[in-house]
Amino acid sequence: MKIFFDQMEEKVFQSFKGGEGEFHVKMYTDPRAKIMRGRLLPGSSIGLHTHEGNSEMIYILSGTGKVLCDGEYEPLAAGDCHYCPMGHAHSLINDGQGDLCFFAVVPEHGVTNSTSFVSP
């Protein structure tokens, strides 16, 4: 299935999850996952939150920033991938001069799927 982010309406959230500034996002959701193309403006952040029942993978498309994960800061730049496992907490922060653009997937755990996946 192809997801057409360019045809989606961009939603804008202020102080998302208790963060600072604006979070812009185009998002596909179903009961098994959220798939997002997001953008944090300079000085903006997604507030610290714990993933309970799901996890999150964030791939940085452009810009620079940092993530606070389990109490430690990690710098992020284009091409970096951050993973927050279920039960862990993180926050995404744009401390750069331009927009921090990213692709994120939040799979729900415990949701059954009739498709079997076989590793190579």
pLDDT tens for residues 27-58?
Answer: 999 999 999 999 999 999 999 999 999 999 99
Question: What class does CATH assign to 32-107?
Answer: mainly beta
Residues 84 and 92 sit within 8 Å (Cβ to Cβ)? no
pLDDT recorded at residue 3: 96
**Which has more confidence, 115 or 41?**
41
Domain locations along the chain:
32-107
**Secondary structure of 87-110 in the HEC alphabet?**
CCEEEEECCCCCCEEEEEEEEECC
Q: Which residue(s) pair with 108 in the sheet?
A: 54
pLDDT tens for residues 51-93?
Answer: 999 999 999 999 999 999 999 999 999 999 999 999 999 999 9
pLDDT recorded at residue 111: 59
Please tell me what DSSP assigns to residue 31: T
- Looking only at the bridges linking them, the beta strands covering 11-14 and 22-30 are antiparallel
The identity of residue 43, as a single letter, is: G
